Structure 1
Amino acid sequence: MIALPSSARAVIIGGGISGCSVAYHLARLGWTDIVLLERKRLTSGTTWHAAGLVGQLRASQNMTRLAKYSADLYTRLEAETGLATGFRQCGSITTALTTERREEIFRQASMARAFGVEVRELSPQEVGDLYPHLNLEGVVAGVHLPKDGQADPANIALALAKGARSRGALIAEGVKVTGVTRAEGRVTGVDWAQGDETGHIAADMVVNCGGMWGRDLAAQSGVTLPLHACEHFYIVTEAIEGLTELPVLRVPDECAYYKTDAGKMLLGAFEPVAKPWGMGGIPESFEFDQLPEDFDHFEPILEKATARMPLLARAGIHTFFNGPESFTPDDRYYLGEAPELRGYWVAAGYNSIGIASSGGAGMALAQWMEDGEPPFDLWEVDIRRAQPFQRNRRYLRERVTETLGLLYADHFPYRQPATARGVRRSPLHEHLKARGAVFGEAAGWERANWFARDGQEREYRYSWGRQNWFDNQREEHMALRTGVGLLDMSSFGKIRVEGPGALPFLQRICAGQIDVAVGLIVYTPMLNRQGGIESDLTVTRLSETAFLLVVPGATLQRDLAWLRRHLRDDLAVITDVTAAEAVLPLMGPKARDVLAAVSPNNFSKVAFPFGTAQEIEIGLGLARAHRVTYVGELGWELYVSTDQAAHVWETLVEAGEPLGLRLCGLHAMDSCRIEKAYRHWGHDITDEDHVLEAGLGFTVKTAKGDFIGREAVLRKREAGLSRRLVQFRLTDPRPLLFHNEPILRDGHIVGQLSSGNYGHALGGAVGLGYVPCMVRGETGAEMMASRYQIEVAGCLVDAEPSLTAMYDPKGERVRA
């Protein structure tokens, strides 16, 4: 037995590829007092039976950055450690059997070019040239990524472990962590057991790399880690004479992937309806184990595969494998420090892409632990996106039956999950449902995305073209622009900060001037030390000592964690009051007329100016009206206690009918906001985007005194901008934009769109994206003088650029 120390800087729990990568990268940063504890033997959970596919292209630039890092790491790891990783850049091919899938993979190819990944679109014949064993019947296109590869997962993990040990890390097998200890909201160490022996290691940081054990381990410490194991199937054939090394092949329309290895063929599946496993917990004895065969479950995949790959029909099956892997509710893994417990870090839930992801994830997490902040925007995988209710095991079991299959399903824009729905509902949910609402989900909230007409089907028909709700969105969009629309945004996160220290606290963490008169609303970011945008919010001063912060529903847990992290000794209390109030945005040129019909209050421009909040009477009740907008029109957000929400909604709808009031959904709100060039946190603005380069310098008040990020703002003002956020409108009204489409400046790719939607009032698709300056401090006029195009599924479309909002650039309609 290895002698375990009594203390360490960090203890890593779990000896799969994730834990080994974190240990390796912390050791590379010079951390020597690291301990990795593995309950059985290294790789014995999931890593040992992974298929070992290493693809570089992911759904965003930073996820691609991490996957590319993994591939580069595995290439050099063998030379560094002397252990063979089996990594071969044999390339990969993805095929399309439908025109919709062709659109998807061609859009992915465009995205790859924007991210600097080598890629080539293929005709069916070119697919056959690269993969001669493939039956090309029904194949309409393909995409080839020549630098993708495959590897030996267990050997990679062992090489990472050896590299960590050589730099001073201690790795102990056969040691089970029985608990994580804590005090005053912080981790203090771990308790462990090895046979009959027990002990404790004091530590400032603990990293949960427990894979499918990670959820229950986290729950012991009150940490939410929503993941669930599912059965994952593949077969390996007997040796096939003449079978040479070929690219990894994915046929997502048949839920299958293929890889060759030592003259054998591996066929794996991501079936549409998965089999959750381990609902009652993972057996204590589980080690290098596999689950019982279920040939009936796998047979539909195999039947299609033998038709697609005829050589399989002639090959014997050497291995039928069924092993568990962990999946998450949104098919994205978890990284970062848990918001519930300082010093408790997570790297888990890899959704069957752990080999491709763990190299980069380990690097990013180690750097995050070293610096106290992520090395770049990692919101997609940030543990702070997890919602507390998602620790519910029934919810997880139901959701992961779907998410495994979604890996190979068509990744249509606006696709909504079908399972485990209805958990979080607005008090107006049934009212909206009765009026034709079609709901989407965000952070568990059911939100009305669009409203069906009488007789129209109330469900999505997904496509890469104009979906079945496109005309509904246009009508709702134009109602907001020309008449009046009513939305339900009760999902907004609402945080009260109050107490004698509330004002100085908010002044320190907000970039805007918060010391304003009672009743004023301040639009402000919260910045990090680099001037990146940690949060995008409004702060309303309710009294001398009480403030209401309104944030996106999806970022509520993240924003609460940021606030609490920086509270220090301030005499202030932070309270999540999201469920206490419904929010009804009433927007459009006729909004004032509707309110005048239901309230005796004065809504004139003078009595109720933009950027202010007042309590109003409405119908028989009361509400707090905020004169702000996210659609770019005259309007008010009405904050109503949940018990009065139904009454206020009914009152508004009845009064609005003679004025043509229309119920509107989130799709229309988003298309309106993008016409107005309003930023969306997580897409257009993130913690990696400097507030000045995002075009939000007007929200920053450096003259007020010190605040987080102030020095970075002053430095950037002095040095000049290196890029700017630009709005684009396609001159051809037919193509659609979503996000990540490449931006070309004078014929060269310079970036990609951060968001996109259809601008119904502007007559074409509209997007936002960052464009680098040719030289630091390049003027706006010089930037606008170039020719811009957007690449849409391989086709170049001319685009009109603008540094100011194309719709109502002076904000006259908002302040009417």
Structure 2
Amino acid sequence: MALPSSARVVIIGGGAVGASALYHLAKAGWTDCVLLEKNELTAGSTWHAAGNVPTFSSSWSIMNMQRYSAELYRGLGAAVDYPMNYHVTGSVRLGHTKERLQEFKRVVGMGRYQGMDLDILGPDEIRSRYPFVQTHDLVGALYDPYDGDIDPAQLTQALAKGARAMGAHIERFCPVTGVRRERGEWVLNTPQGEIRCEIVVNAAGYYAREVGRMFGRDLPMMVMSHQYMLFDTIPELEAWTKEVGHKLPLLRDVDSSYYLRQEKNGFNLGPYEGNCRAHWATPDDPFPQDFSFQLFPDDLERLEWHIADAMARVPLLEKAALTKVINGPIPYAPDGNPLIGPMPGVPNAFEACVFTFGICQAGGAGKVLAEWVTEGATEWDMWSCDPRRFTGFEDEDYCVKKGMEVYGHEYAIHFPHHAWPEGRMKKLGAVHDRTAALGAQFGPYNGWERALWYARPGDDVSEAAQRTWDREGPWFGAVKAECEAVRDAAGILDLPGFSRFRVTGPGTVAWLGEQITGKVPSVDRLGLAYFADDKGRIVTEMSVARVAEDEVVLITAATAQSHDKEWLLRHLAPGLVLADETLDWSTQILTGPKSREILAAVSDADLAKGWLTWQRATVAGRPAVLMRVSFAGELGWEIHSRVADTPAIWDAVMAAGAPLGLKPFGMFALNSLRIEKGYRAWKGDLSTDYTVLQGGLERFVDWAKPAFRGKAALEAEKQRGVMKRFCTLVIEAGEQDPPYMSTIWNGEEVVGELTSGYWGHRVGACIGLGMLKAGLNVPGTKVEVEIFGVRYPAVVQADQPLWDAKNERIRA
């Protein structure tokens, strides 16, 4: 069959992910879709993939995606009438430390909330699942009955067969050699001719960067070499398998960083070594024109430690003969997650690529990609994989360093106060030298280095000290003092990198009024604005400063820069102009009861102007914009200044505040302060997993407006009743604060989840923000919050802040 001249969607890349995207588009009724593969299906990373299918993830969205894949694969062979080798063996994930077992318990809670019966095994129970393992130095394990392995080629062919049966088209040996935009369509050049399409999807695996360049897009990615080893039949294992009638569960020794899987009656050992190797990242090792069905030379020396450790853990492995080594390319994004979603800055283009674990994620990725294309939004909030989480600063050096860091720590625990060291100092604020000299311990926000906390003499600032789930790490006393300074005197927080967009042109305010759920503030006023999608779900939150009749400045999170800019541009009315001024400005938060006195000493501003106003003024003789808001929940201002003017302003404020008790504070303190006020955090409390009404944001909805995006959906939800709502809990927690997606229990029923949890230093309590069934969301209701497998008593609070309930301090 010849290449069609046109299609609604063209997918570039014929691995498991591309085939899944085609299959799910066809299932959604979009059958006029074509997949183009430069070689044979599976020729990239798919053909040499080990084929493991775990559901385990510490990310709620990625766990959803992997769970969906496992469910899909169990019935796929029968659904499309294609033979598949899919072994659901379960897995045992070993834990050597208390911290590792805490991670397991957190994931078990998340998995049970998603309907999976995961379990924790004690040391004496592990051998009942895996009789050949040494357990003398273990504290426990996680058992996942849904884990297993699948043949990647069969999986891809099954998805391809299912897609073809529904009417989709696959063209093999048909590379895309160029693209152009013509009359609102994409035109793709191939050796078989041109094909026009409305929408294009880059699913090109480790070729995705080359494909992206055709669209003017430089993907943040690199390529690692990953080795796994196949061992020959072991008579004892063969006899055991025949006796019990099934394979061993997949064993992962995550603290030693490898997996060990039964392969027929031998083993497959796959390490993730710290002394890893990047490929195609230097002039001496250029990217190849074609690497289809090829491997790198064996390089076992760097795996010696892991091989020896695996043999000590499972002595049976020592009896096996090594028969084959697979050393193939695996793409990595800087955070190890794939790219699934809109291609930033490119119309009608999407990405579904850079999959480090493409086999276990392919099924879910196809579902997510199809939703993006056909509905413009996904069922689950997929920020963890959204290409717009990267903003363009991620150069090749950064991508290589971060990719190697992620690979070498593939099984690492992601502790809440730990900042990974590679790829740092990419963007420094105007007063970075000053904050560093004061003891700032930094963390990156969209590449911008911000102070997390300020170490005092004697505080342990080592990276090892950050690796704990406990609340009272070395930062705790310092953060407490920072919060108390904000409460009793004043604090200053340097916030480089706020995303800032100026929109101008006739009709700006009318346009913005249709984009947000609430009112546009009047001239010289500020407001908090929420953007909903067509389903009424929370897309983003921005501060709006009304500059003139038809001019607004929109300020949003540093990490939201590409996401929010793309959203605004996609919906921008003709004739309006959007300017990204992020790099031109810097911001400091000055807040606390003495902040007015401090500012009066260095500024000519009218400091009697009330809450939610803004004004132009000078500070230390330099021009600035003062915004009367405070995410910390105290009297305060945001001082917005041009980057060149910021050091002088910082110095003057610090000098004026020194005799009044002014202290610099960091992001950990801000988190504590904001959670006491019930202020939401983006992509935690505020995400498309929740509607505006579920988020407790009805006061930001102007029902009287004739139209705004999501209005019909929100009106319908209000009429039928909101099933769950935002809540604030005070929790009698132990030594740890609750992590994201900790479950809320009422008796033996899960009735909600936490979206934020932290210690409030002003109120002296552990606070949780989250979602709770509406019937239980009544002040005084007693529930329990599960934190690392233990349920702690919690009480639902009134619908007002725990700190300064009447906002008297913030309005002072």
* Equivalent pair of 2:266/2:320 in contact (CA under 8 Å): no
TM-score, length-scaled by structure 1:
0.95
> What's 2:571 paired with?
566
Q: For 1:91 and 1:68, locate their aligned partners in 2 and report how far apart those are by CA, in whole Å.
A: 13
Matched ranges for 1:9-48 at <5 A: 9-48=8-47
The CA deviation at 1:273 is: 4.0
TM-score, length-scaled by structure 2:
0.96
1:709 has 2:710 as partner: yes
The CA deviation at 1:177 is: 0.5
Q: Select between 284-293 and 155-164 the one with higher mean Cα deviation.
A: 284-293
* Equivalent pair of 1:616/1:625 in contact (CA under 8 Å): yes
Question: How far does the alpha carbon of each residue in 1:330-381 deviate from its partner, in whole angstroms, 9 at most, with x for none?
Answer: 1111111112111111101122x21111101101211221112223311111
The CA deviation at 1:231 is: 0.6
Kindly provide the amino acid, as one letter, of the partner of residue 189 in structure 1. Answer: V
Residue number among 593, 598, 613 corresponding to 1:594 in the alignment: 598
Matched ranges for 1:158-307 at <5 A: 158-183=157-182, 187-193=185-191, 198-243=192-237, 244=241, 245-279=247-281, 281-307=286-312
> What's 2:61 paired with?
62
1:369 has 2:368 as partner: no
How has the CA–CA distance of structure 1 residues 598 and 581 changed in structure 2, closer, same or farther, with 3 Å as cutoff? Answer: same
The CA deviation at 1:705 is: 2.8
> What's 1:501 paired with?
507
Say which SS state the counterpart of residue 18 (structure 2) adopts: helix
How has the CA–CA distance of structure 1 residues 809 and 183 changed in structure 2, closer, same or farther, with 3 Å as cutoff? Answer: farther
Question: How far does the alpha carbon of each residue in 1:426-466 deviate from its partner, in whole angstroms, 9 at most, with x for none?
Answer: 11111111111111012111111111113545444221113
1:637 has 2:638 as partner: yes
Residue number among 315, 338, 353 corresponding to 1:310 in the alignment: 315
* Equivalent pair of 2:276/2:302 in contact (CA under 8 Å): no
> What's 1:347 paired with?
352
How has the CA–CA distance of structure 1 residues 42 and 120 changed in structure 2, closer, same or farther, with 3 Å as cutoff? Answer: same
Unmatched tracts of structure 2, length 5 or more: 242-246
Question: How far does the alpha carbon of each residue in 1:584-612 deviate from its partner, in whole angstroms, 9 at most, with x for none?
Answer: 000111111111121233313xxx10000
1:431 has 2:431 as partner: no
The CA deviation at 1:787 is: 2.3
The CA deviation at 1:183 is: 4.3
Q: For 2:81 and 2:555, locate their aligned partners in 1 and report how far apart those are by CA, in whole Å.
A: 54
1:664 has 2:665 as partner: yes
The CA deviation at 1:573 is: 0.5
> What's 2:51 paired with?
52
Moved over 3 A (4+): 454-460, 732-735
> What's 1:132 paired with?
131
* Equivalent pair of 2:593/2:634 in contact (CA under 8 Å): yes
Q: For 1:705 and 1:32, locate their aligned partners in 2 and report how far apart those are by CA, in whole Å.
A: 37
* Equivalent pair of 2:739/2:787 in contact (CA under 8 Å): no
* Equivalent pair of 1:512/1:524 in contact (CA under 8 Å): yes
The CA deviation at 1:59 is: 2.6
1:675 has 2:676 as partner: yes
How has the CA–CA distance of structure 1 residues 732 and 67 changed in structure 2, closer, same or farther, with 3 Å as cutoff? Answer: closer
Say which SS state the counterpart of residue 346 (structure 1) adopts: strand
Question: How far does the alpha carbon of each residue in 1:476-513 deviate from its partner, in whole angstroms, 9 at most, with x for none?
Answer: 12222222110011221011111123112211112221
> What's 1:796 paired with?
791
Question: How far does the alpha carbon of each residue in 1:313-334 deviate from its partner, in whole angstroms, 9 at most, with x for none?
Answer: 1111011221110111111111
Question: How far does the alpha carbon of each residue in 1:373-397 deviate from its partner, in whole angstroms, 9 at most, with x for none?
Answer: 223311111112121122x222211
The CA deviation at 1:719 is: 2.1
Kindly provide the amino acid, as one letter, of the partner of residue 667 in structure 1. Answer: F
The CA deviation at 1:207 is: 0.7
Residue number among 484, 493, 507 corresponding to 1:487 in the alignment: 493
* Equivalent pair of 1:189/1:206 in contact (CA under 8 Å): no
- Number of equivalenced pairs: 797
Say which SS state the counterpart of residue 279 (structure 2) adopts: coil
Say which SS state the counterpart of residue 236 (structure 2) adopts: coil
Say which SS state the counterpart of residue 582 (structure 1) adopts: strand
Q: For 2:235 and 2:253, locate their aligned partners in 1 and report how far apart those are by CA, in whole Å.
A: 23
Kindly provide the amino acid, as one letter, of the partner of residue 809 in structure 1. Answer: A
Identity of aligned residues (%): 34
1:814 has 2:810 as partner: yes
Say which SS state the counterpart of residue 159 (structure 2) adopts: helix
Residue number among 331, 354, 374 corresponding to 1:326 in the alignment: 331
Q: For 1:264 and 1:81, locate their aligned partners in 2 and report how far apart those are by CA, in whole Å.
A: 31
Say which SS state the counterpart of residue 494 (structure 2) adopts: coil
* Equivalent pair of 2:780/2:796 in contact (CA under 8 Å): no
Matched ranges for 1:444-483 at <5 A: 444-460=447-463, 461=465, 462-465=467-470, 466-483=472-489
* Equivalent pair of 2:208/2:219 in contact (CA under 8 Å): yes
Say which SS state the counterpart of residue 30 (structure 2) adopts: coil
The CA deviation at 1:257 is: 0.6
Q: For 1:111 and 1:77, locate their aligned partners in 2 and report how far apart those are by CA, in whole Å.
A: 25
The CA deviation at 1:732 is: 4.2
Kindly provide the amino acid, as one letter, of the partner of residue 549 in structure 1. Answer: L
Say which SS state the counterpart of residue 309 (structure 2) adopts: helix
Q: Select between 221-230 and 638-647 the one with higher mean Cα deviation.
A: 221-230
Kindly provide the amino acid, as one letter, of the partner of residue 69 in structure 1. Answer: Y
> What's 1:405 paired with?
408
Q: For 1:350 and 1:285, locate their aligned partners in 2 and report how far apart those are by CA, in whole Å.
A: 19
The CA deviation at 1:179 is: 1.7
Matched ranges for 1:96-111 at <5 A: 96-111=95-110
* Equivalent pair of 1:724/1:772 in contact (CA under 8 Å): yes
The CA deviation at 1:733 is: 5.7
Question: How far does the alpha carbon of each residue in 1:281-315 deviate from its partner, in whole angstroms, 9 at most, with x for none?
Answer: 53223121110111111112112111111111111
> What's 2:244 paired with?
none
> What's 2:424 paired with?
421
* Equivalent pair of 1:180/1:190 in contact (CA under 8 Å): yes
* Equivalent pair of 1:483/1:660 in contact (CA under 8 Å): yes
Q: For 1:459 and 1:494, locate their aligned partners in 2 and report how far apart those are by CA, in whole Å.
A: 34
> What's 1:511 paired with?
517
The CA deviation at 1:721 is: 1.2
> What's 1:721 paired with?
722
RMSD (Å) for aligned C-alpha atoms: 1.6
Kindly provide the amino acid, as one letter, of the partner of residue 723 in structure 1. Answer: K
How has the CA–CA distance of structure 1 residues 709 and 81 changed in structure 2, closer, same or farther, with 3 Å as cutoff? Answer: closer
Residue number among 529, 532, 535 corresponding to 1:530 in the alignment: 535
> What's 1:442 paired with?
445
